[in-house]
Homo-oligomer: A and B are copies of this chain.
Amino acid sequence: MHSFKELSAKFEQQFNHRQFPAQPANLYDASQYILGIGGKRIRPVLAMMGNELFDTLHDDSLLVGTAIELFHNFTLIHDDIMDKAPLRRGMPTVHTKYNDATAIMAGDVMLIRCYDFLNKVQPHIKTKIINVFNKAASEVCEGQQYDMDMEVMKPEDVQYNDYVNMIGLKTSVLLAAALQMGAIIGGGSEGNQQHLYNFGKNVGIAFQMQDDYLDAFGDPDKHGKQAGGDILINKKTFLLLKALDTCNPGQKEELHHLMDTNPADKVAQVLRIFKECKIDVWSEEEKESYKQKAIKSLEEIAVVSARKKPLLELADFLLTRQH
């Protein structure tokens, strides 16, 4: 068994070279470009950890990890086009550096490439691996569509549960599927695969909740983003939706007024209302509740506790950051 750092280094060693042919350069340079601007490679490590939970590390985990990392980057390229985002990790996005047409296709060939790697896993698990991958892949697209659907809705028309569902699809199912594919490679039973999947899904949702919390209440000096960036652009977050759900009519009216008029002290005013409604406390509790669900799923997996340590440590690491 290996630590996150060891697995991450192992993955980088085989991933960190050009993944695409030389020609046509205008296409494949664009695909390769996004792989070179960083990323924590957390999804491949999850696949490897899922494998090591049940058995020694198999090369299939690197293949599956590569496919997932390529898929993740494919979604970043296409999402950035849809969101018209100029920057990603401080660098120009693919469609900004090249153009929309090239970015669409740079994503397409990256998605196709995923299946080159999935096609190399051992035959007796290939069908199952591709099924799990494809279910997650479709769900990520569905999550992105629900997100776009919600973007044009008024915040008070978005149901909190629909929002949790969207976040789960958009950000968590790929983490969960990475773990499950690792479990398949390691020979975990169907039941244990499902527990591990649930662990990943709930960690993912808790992580997103923490992200929303830190954007509002975190220390901007630590997370390096604009304080209350989400509040400034009226972004639908766990906090805002819960506030609109639970605050009293006067507070709700005040929130709407702040979102409509964008006064200079908007962030401070919204944070004050959030605190009056105890959204900060609720948010911490809600995150903790998803974390506990995750840990419970992990506990239910029928392997000795020692094997679960890297996953537990990773969950702790991801869900206690202050920035």
Contact = CB atoms under 8 A, between A and B. Distances in A.
A68 interface: no
Interface in A93-130: 100-102, 104-105, 107-109, 111-113, 115-116, 119, 123, 126-127, 130
Contact of A24 (B115, B130, B142): B142
Contacts of A100: 81-82
A112 B111 contact: yes
B108 A134 contact: no
A148 B102 CA distance: 9
A101 B148 contact: yes
A27 interface: yes
A265 interface: no
A113 B131 CA distance: 11
A138 B119 contact: no
A316 to B, nearest CB: 33
A134 B109 contact: no
Given A109-B138, A112-B137, A138-B113, A145 B82 contact: no
B27 A142 contact: yes
A149 interface: yes
Given A105-B78, A123-B127, A149 B24 contact: yes
Contacts of A116: 131, 134
Contacts of A113: 134, 138
A137 B112 CA distance: 7
A23 B115 CA distance: 25
A322 interface: no
Interface residues of A, number: 36
Nearest to A130: B119
B134 A115 contact: yes
A144 interface: yes
A112 B78 CA distance: 14
Nearest to A149: B26
A50 to B, nearest CB: 20
A111 B113 CA distance: 12
A146 interface: yes
Nearest to A124: B123
Nearest to A129: B119
A141 interface: yes
Contacts of A137: 112
Contacts of A108: 78, 107-108, 111, 141
6 contacts: A24-B142, A78-B108, A105-B145, A115-B115, A116-B134, A123-B123
Interface of A: 23-24, 26-27, 78, 81-82, 100-102, 104-105, 107-109, 111-113, 115-116, 119, 123, 126-127, 130-131, 134, 137-138, 141-142, 144-146, 148-149
Given A115-B115, A123-B127, 15 more contacts: A24-B142, A24-B146, A26-B145, A27-B142, A82-B100, A82-B101, A82-B104, A102-B145, A102-B148, A108-B141, A111-B111, A116-B131, A116-B134, A119-B134, A123-B123
User: 3 shortest A-B CB distances, which residue pairs?
Assistant: A27-B145, A82-B101, A24-B145
